[in-house]
Structure 1
Amino acid sequence: MSHTVFINRQALYLRPDPTRVVVRSFKPATEPRDLNPTDKTRANHILERILALPEEVAAGLLAEVLENFQGRHRNLLETFEARAKEMENALFNHPDVSPVQRQLVGAYFLHEYSFEASALFNPSIVAHPDQSGAPEGGRRFIISLRAVGEGHVSSLTFRAGSIAPDGVVTIDPTARLAAIPRVRSWTTGPDGDAVEVVFKAEEDLSERVIFPITPAQSNGIEDARFVEFKENGKSLYYATYTAYNGKAIRSELLETSDFMSFRLSPMRGAATYNKGMALFPRKINGRYAMIARQDNENLYLIYSDDLRRWEGGTPILGPQYPWEFVQIGNCGSPIEMKEGWLLLTHGVGAVRKYTIGAVLLDKDDPSRVLARSHEPLVRPDPSEREGYVPNVVYTCGAMRFNDQIILPYAVSDTFSNFATIKILKLLEMMKAV
C-alpha cells in the first residue's frame, strides 16, 4: 500500500532558533559559594574587582548592562538579585555591599545560553489541560521538544497548537523570550535528587524551558515521552525521560497537572538504567504498566505497583523486518483504541536509517501482539535525510484525534514536522501475528 494513501505530511516545520536565549549561572573555576571565604580563586578575584568599584561607577555599569540586555529577558534586576543571593557565602565578608553592587555581582555571574541553537527535535504530544479556545469540533494540544544548544546539552521546551476537525494542525506563535523556572524544592534521597520547579504565570508556554538541574541531568534531559494519565476520573501528565550526566544515563519521571509547575524525580529498579521507557495512559488490571527497551533486541512489558520502581519485565517484541534489524524501540506511550493498544515503534536498518513502524497490542493483555506493520509508516523522504544525524525520523509520542493519529516527528535530529495517519488505513496495512 502506498504511503500517500494514509500518511499526510503537513510541512509544519519547527526549526531551532538561535535567537531564543535563557540566562544561566556562570561558574568560573569553582563556584564561590563552595569555597572557603579565605581562598583566592578566579571567582573571588572577579568578585573583589566588582566590589572595589565606586558606587557611581557600579551604578553606571549596571545601567549599561540593563540597556544592553533588557529587551532579551524579563525582570533582569530580579534575576541578578536572585543570582547574588545564591552567592551569599562569598559575599559574607562584605557586609556593606549596596543593592547596586549586589545586582552587578549577579550580572557578572550569569551568562546567556541559546538553548535550541543546534536542534529542536524528538517531540511528544498530549491534549492541552485547558481546552478553552479550541476550534469547534477540534482540540488544543501541547507538544514537548528536546532542544539542544552549546555543548550538546539537552533541555525540555514546549509549544501549543490546535487540531481542526479535518485534522489540519496549527501551531501557536512562539514567544520571543524564554526563561528557566524557579526551584521551589529540592530533596536528596537514596536514589538521587528530586526537584520541584515552577514558572511564572505571565510566562507563555513556549517561553518555558526546563534546563538540567540535578547532577544526574547535568548534560541533558532527553527524549521526554509525555502521556495524559487517567485515574479515578482525573488526569495527570507524566513524562519518562533520559537523564544524562556526561557518562551515565538513567530514566527519570516528570509530573505536572498544568505545565506551569513540574516535579522531576529519579526512578529506581533494574529497568530504569536504560533509555526509552513509555508509560501506559492508565493502569491495567490495577497496576501501572510500561513499555521499555532493555537490550536493543527486544521491547519489554513491565508491570509495577510503584510508579517509581521498575524491575524485570517480559520481552514482547523483537526485530523481525529488515528495516529494524539493527535496533527496535518504542516511540512513545501506547495509544488506546477499541481494537487494542497502538504502539508506535522505531526501527534501525541498513546504513543506520531510522524509520517509524507500529504494533497493535491486546487491550487486556498487552503482552499479546495482535498485529504489526511489515513496512515503515514513516521513513525519511528526500527532503528529510540531511541534518545533524542523517537518515532519521523519530517521535516520542503521538495522539489520537477522531479517526486519525496526529504524529509530530523529528527529522535527522535537527527539526520537527507533523504528519496525520488515517487509523483505518493503518490497521488495514498491519499484518496479524
Structure 2
Amino acid sequence: MSIKATRTGIVLRPDPTRVLFRPFELGSTRTLKSIARVGSMTDEEAERKLDEVIREFGGRHYKLERFLLQRFEQIKPQLLTDEPLTLERKLLLGAYFTMEYSLESAALFNPSMIWHPDQTNVPPGYKRFILSLRATGEGHVSSISFRMGYIDEEGKIVLRKPSRYVTSPEIVSNHRFNRSQFERKLYELRLENSIQEKMMAGLGDEFSLTELEAQIKRVSAQFRYNAEYETIASGLLALAKSNYEIHFEDDQSLDERCIFPTSPNETNGIEDARFVQFTDDNGEITYYATYTAYNGRVTFPQLLETKDFTHFSISTLNGAEVSNKGMALFPRKIGGRYAMISRQDGENIYLMYSDDLYFWQTKELILKPTYHWEYVQLGNCGSPIETEAGWLVLSHGVGPMRKYAIGAFLLDLNDPSKVIGRTTEPILSPDENEREGYVPNVVYSCGGLLNGRELIIPYAMSDYASSFATVNVDELLAELVSQSKTETVDSEEVVS
C-alpha cells in the first residue's frame, strides 16, 4: 500500500498589495540633477508636494516619514552646500530617492512551518504556528516573509489574515565580530595571507565593521592602485557584511516583518529558508534556518538564528563540505555534535556532523536516487522530525519532465546514517490544480510539522502559491518500517 497525503484545500496566494519601501538608487549624475531640481522648488511647492506624497503613501506603510529621513541622510553627502534645510525639504528629498517594492508580487512559495514560541492565551486544544515563506517580487528577488495561524482542537489549520504593512528590519550597527572565528572563515575562503594580517593588525579580539573599514582604509592608503590589496580588502569586507545582525521593533506583528536581502552574497535573493526549533543539551531553545543566498552568479549556504523572531543573526557557513543547496539542521545534537542533512552534489542525500555550528568539514552519503520519480535528483524538504520510530525526513524527488514530488524516509535515532525505510512512491505529487505556475509540475516544501499523530506538510505549488496537506504519522511510519523489513527479507532470500 502506498500512503498518500490529504490536501486541505487551503491556498495561500501572493498578494501584490503588500509593499515595503526600498532605496531608489540613481547614478551619481542623475542623483545630483534630481537634488538640484528639488532644490529649485519654492518652500510652498515643496510643502505641497510633500503633503501629496504623505496622503498617497502614508497609509500604505509603517512609519514612512522616519524612512524618508533616513534616505535623506544617505543622500546628504551629495548636497552641494551645507545650507540648512527645513524638515519638509528633507522629507521630500528622501521621497524622491525611495520606491515601493511589492514583496510577493511574483510568488509566495516554499514554506517552512514551526510552532510559535509564544503559546499564551491560546484556547485549550489549540496551538499557534509560524509559517515562513519565500516571497518573490520584481527582478525575481526573493526574501523571507512570515504568516501566522493556529491549529484547532480538531486539527483544522486556520491562517491569520496578515497585516496591511510590511517592513524590512534595521541592521544592527554595533555588531561585533569574534576575531578568532573571523580569521578561521578567512582561512576557509583562502584570504589569509600577509596582506590580510596587515589589514587586521590593529583590531582587538572583537571588532566592528566600522573599525575593520577604518583599518583597511589606513593600510590600503599606503599601497594605492595595488590590485592585490584591493582584492583582499574586498574579500574582507564582503565576509564582514555577510555576517550581520538585524532587528525589528517589538510592536510590529510578525507578519509585518520581512527579511530582505542585505549582504553582498544576497543581492539577488534569500531562498528556501528551512526553519527548525533547536533544543540544546541544556534545554535552551534557538530557532535556526539554513537558507541559500544568491548573488546572481553563485549560491551560498547561510545560517539565520533567533530566539524571539525580533532579533536575528545571519552567518556564513564555512568548511570543505559547505556547498550547493538544501542543507537542513537536525533539531538537536546527536552524540554531542551538530548534525545536518545535505545535498552537496546536486542529486544525492548526505549526512554531516560538526562540533562547530558554522564549520562543516565532512559528509557521508546515505541515499541515492533509486525510484522512477527521483531518478534526476533527490533532496530534503526540511529538517528531520523526531519520532519514536526514528528521524522522519520529507524528501523531494525529480523525475521525467522535471516533475517534482514529495516522499519521505526514516533514519535511525541514534545513528542517522542507517536508513530504516523510504517511500517507493511519492506521498504528494502535483495535481491538475497545482501544476501550472512559474515553474510547472512542482510541489516542494521546506519543512513540515508534527501535530499529535498527524504530519502537516506546507508545500509550494509550481513556485507560485502555497498550500497544506496532511498525513497520518502512524500509517506513514508503518509503511517505512515495513518497507525496510521487506527489503531485509528479500536480501535474505537472495543469500539463501
Q: Distance in 1 between matches of 2:269 and 2:43?
A: 40
1:119-130 → structure 2 map (5 Å cutoff): 119-130=107-118
**Residue in structure 1 matched with residue 263 of structure 2 by the alignment:** 214
Q: Distance in 2 between matches of 1:92 and 1:180?
A: 31
1:404 counterpart (454, 457, 461): 454
**Residue in structure 1 matched with residue 331 of structure 2 by the alignment:** 281
- The amino acid that maps onto 1:107 is A
**1:75 corresponds to 2:63:** yes
**Residue in structure 2 matched with residue 226 of structure 1 by the alignment:** 275
Q: Report the CA distance between 1:277 and its aligned residue.
A: 0.4
1:30-429 → structure 2 map (5 Å cutoff): 30=28, 41-91=29-79, 93-185=81-173, 191-193=239-241, 194-231=243-280, 232-429=282-479
Q: Report the CA distance between 1:2 and its aligned residue.
A: 5.6
Question: Deviations 1:37-77 (Å, cap 9, x if unpaired)?
Answer: xxxx1111111211232222111111111111111112211
- The amino acid that maps onto 2:253 is D
Q: Distance in 2 between matches of 1:297 and 1:96?
A: 61
Q: Distance in 1 between matches of 2:97 and 2:330?
A: 43
Q: Report the CA distance between 1:381 and its aligned residue.
A: 1.4
Q: Report the CA distance between 1:165 and its aligned residue.
A: 3.0
Question: Deviations 1:308-336 (Å, cap 9, x if unpaired)?
Answer: 11123001111000000000011100000
Q: Do the aligned partners of residues 92 and 342 (structure 1) sit closer, same or farther apart at CA in structure 2, a change above 3 Å counting? A: farther
Q: Report the CA distance between 1:148 and its aligned residue.
A: 0.5
- Paired residues of 1:162 and 1:170 also in contact (CA < 8 A): yes
How many percent of aligned residue pairs carry the same amino acid? 50
**1:14 corresponds to 2:1:** no
**Structure with bigger gyration radius:** 2
Q: Distance in 1 between matches of 2:404 and 2:458?
A: 15
Question: Deviations 1:374-432 (Å, cap 9, x if unpaired)?
Answer: 11011111211111111100000011111111110000000000111100111222221
**Residue in structure 1 matched with residue 186 of structure 2 by the alignment:** none
Q: Report the CA distance between 1:92 and its aligned residue.
A: 6.8
Q: Report the CA distance between 1:290 and its aligned residue.
A: 0.6
Q: Distance in 2 between matches of 1:156 and 1:296?
A: 23
Q: Report the CA distance between 1:346 and its aligned residue.
A: 0.3
Q: Distance in 2 between matches of 1:418 and 1:57?
A: 52
- The amino acid that maps onto 1:151 is G
Q: Report the CA distance between 1:95 and its aligned residue.
A: 3.3
Question: After the TM superposition, which parts of structure 1 deviate over 4 Å for at least 4 consecutive aligned residues?
Answer: 186-190
Q: Figure out how many residues of one structure are paired with residues of the other and give that number.
A: 421
SS state of the match for residue 11, structure 1?
strand
Question: Deviations 1:342-381 (Å, cap 9, x if unpaired)?
Answer: 0111000011100001010000010110111111011111
Q: Which runs of 5+ in 1 are unaligned?
A: 31-40
Q: Do the aligned partners of residues 254 and 92 (structure 1) sit closer, same or farther apart at CA in structure 2, a change above 3 Å counting? A: farther
Q: Report the CA distance between 1:183 and its aligned residue.
A: 1.2
**Residue in structure 1 matched with residue 222 of structure 2 by the alignment:** none
TM-score for both structures, normalised by structure 2? 0.82
SS state of the match for residue 106, structure 1?
helix
- Paired residues of 1:323 and 1:348 also in contact (CA < 8 A): yes
Q: Do the aligned partners of residues 71 and 224 (structure 1) sit closer, same or farther apart at CA in structure 2, a change above 3 Å counting? A: same
Q: Distance in 1 between matches of 2:335 and 2:153?
A: 34
Question: Deviations 1:158-209 (Å, cap 9, x if unpaired)?
Answer: 0111112332111111111111111123565574422211112222111111
Q: Distance in 2 between matches of 1:3 and 1:174?
A: 34
TM-score for both structures, normalised by structure 1? 0.94
Q: Report the CA distance between 1:152 and its aligned residue.
A: 0.4
Q: Distance in 2 between matches of 1:311 and 1:29?
A: 43
Q: Do the aligned partners of residues 251 and 92 (structure 1) sit closer, same or farther apart at CA in structure 2, a change above 3 Å counting? A: farther
- Paired residues of 2:109 and 2:464 also in contact (CA < 8 A): yes
Q: Do the aligned partners of residues 92 and 361 (structure 1) sit closer, same or farther apart at CA in structure 2, a change above 3 Å counting? A: farther
Q: Distance in 1 between matches of 2:298 and 2:355?
A: 27
SS state of the match for residue 420, structure 2?
strand
Q: Distance in 2 between matches of 1:368 and 1:135?
A: 40
- Paired residues of 2:338 and 2:353 also in contact (CA < 8 A): yes
- The amino acid that maps onto 1:24 is R
Q: Which structure dedicates a bigger proportion of its chain to helix? A: 2
Q: Which runs of 5+ in 2 are unaligned?
A: 176-207, 210-235, 488-496
